[in-house]
Structure 1
Amino acid sequence: MSAKESIRREAGSVEDNAVRIDTGKAEQVIEALNTDLAATYVLYHQLKKHHWTVEGAEFGQLHDWFGDAAEEAEENADEIAERVQALGGVPISGPSALDDHSIVEFEGEDVYDVRTAMENDMEMYGDIIESVRDHVSLAEDLGDYATGELLRETLEDLEEGAHEAEHFLEDDTLVLADATH
């Protein structure tokens, strides 16, 4: 960073906001939102990895689904980050901050069979769903109904993603598997 540049707002700081949510309440909501933001970006990266690495007889359908699901996660993360900003906070953004704030862990760099990958995604979706559900209540208890509504919409997207992933994991299929499995 150049000596002539200066920081306008420090990460972790909260200032007064135009939406008139008390700063103390905004701090609590921002902390919850940054947790969900971090988890959503971890989900995004895992889904994107699966989009890149999926193989097999159902490649086309799964490749498209993983890509669409990753795009939806990225859109939700963007909306959450913008709400953090509207509340006077600074959205987390760097890899170490995402890792520090996330309630979920990336499965790692290895490539797994598609069933294991989907199961890992289902687990992550479930953990994030529980977190977002709790944060809807927190925001509304603090009088931040707009954040509650935003998180409800995010929750609907997450639940739909989990439901779709669950369908891929069903045991009824027209694709014949290797008899040794």
Structure 2
Amino acid sequence: MQTNIGIKADNLSKIAQELSKLLADEYVLYTKTRRAHWNVEGPDFHSQHKFFESQYEQLDEVIDEVAERIRSLGHYTPATLKDFLQLTRLTEQNREGNDSKGYMHELVTDHESIIMKLRESVNRFANDYGDLGTSDFVTGLMEEHEKMAWMLRAHLK
């Protein structure tokens, strides 16, 4: 059954495409945060292991919310690693060393990249595509990423 929610089908498709890129970014960031959780070493191991766990748990919820937003707009989500790697705007950077500060620098950079993309999309979703719901949704995600980036930055001082 076709989605009839007051947004043109062409705009729904464009929104779903942009959200699919966001989903890929979120999934790559989630994976990188998991890597930090699994591989962090050093005298701060326990606290940083727990900290990264709290961050990937937040990202897990974000991933599900983005995927469900795509589905609520009547489109299917990308759902393979191959799809995510083709759509993401992040890199699967391989770092040397497993210290918490190195991981945090890498992760904060990715959060900030996502924040900038979300900030750009807020008005586009509302004004260009007539979708205030998705505009509000990505505003909330932007705020979550801002807080997560702040937490990472606070560790780096």
Q: Name the TM-score class by shorter chain.
A: over 0.9
- Alpha-carbon offset, residue 109 of structure 1: 7.3
1:169 is matched by which residue type in structure 2?
L
SS at structure 2 position matched to 1:63: helix
User: What letter matches 2:24 in structure 1?
Assistant: A
- Residue in 1 that maps onto 2:104: 118
Gaps of 5+ in 1: 1-14, 171-181
2:56 is aligned to 70
Instruction: Give 1 or 2: higher helix fraction.
Output: 2
Alpha-carbon offset, residue 111 of structure 1: 4.7
Aligned with residue 158 of structure 1, among 130, 145, 150: 145
Is 1:101 paired with 2:87? yes
Equivalent residue for 2:117?
A: 131
RMSD: 1.5
**2:39 aligned residue:** 53
Give runs of ≥4 in structure 1 deviating > 4 Å.
Answer: none
Contact 1:33–1:84 (CA<8 Å) still a contact in 2? yes
CA distance in 2, matches of 1:156, 1:86: 22
State the Cα distance separating 1:139 from its structure 2 match.
1.0
Number of positions where the alignment pairs a residue of Structure 1 with one of Structure 2: 156
Q: Distance in 1 between matches of 2:39 and 2:103?
A: 10
Q: Tell me what 2:74 maps to.
A: 88
| Preserved CA contact (<8 Å) 1:17 1:88 | yes
Work out whether residues 19 and 86 of structure 1, in 8 Å CA contact, stay in contact via their aligned partners in 2: no
User: Is residue 147 from structure 1 mapped to residue 134 from structure 2 by the alignment?
Assistant: yes
Q: Offset at 1:18?
A: 4.0
TM-score normalised by L of structure 2: 0.93
Aligned to 1:40: 26
Q: Which whole-Å deviations, capped at 9, do the CAs of 1:143-168 have from their partners, x for residues lacking one?
A: 11111111111111100010000011
Q: CA deviation at 1:86?
A: 0.9
Identical aligned residues as a percent: 24
TM-score by length of 1: 0.81
Paired with 1:102 and 1:16, the residues of 2 have a C-alpha distance of 28
Deviation of residue 20 (structure 1)? 3.1
Quick one: structure 1 residues 103 and 96, their matched pair in 2 at CA, closer, same or farther if it must change by over 3 Å?
same
The Cα of 1:110 is off from its aligned counterpart by 5.4
SS in 2 for 1:85: helix
Unaligned stretches of 5+ residues in structure 2:
none
Larger Rg: 1
